[in-house]
Amino acid sequence: MLNRYIRAIAGTFVIISVLLAMFVNQNWLWFTLFVGANLLQSSITKWCLMETILLKLGVKK
C-alpha cells in the first residue's frame, strides 16, 4: 500500500510540474528534475523521504 502511495505522489508531482512548466514558467522543470533525482537516490540507497513522511502520517506498510 505504501509503495502505491509513493508512486502516485511522485507521478502527480511530475505531471503537475510539467504542466506548470508548459503554462506558467519553465523553471518548474527543476522540480521535475528534483523528483526524478529523489527517485534515483531512493533506488540506490533504499531510503525515501516520502516513505518516512507517509509512515509518520499513519500510512501502513
pTM: 0.86
Q: Which residues 6+ apart lie within 8 Å of 1 measured at CB?
A: 59, 60, 61
Residues 11-61: tens digit of each pLDDT: 999 999 999 999 999 999 999 999 999 999 999 999 999 999 999 999 998
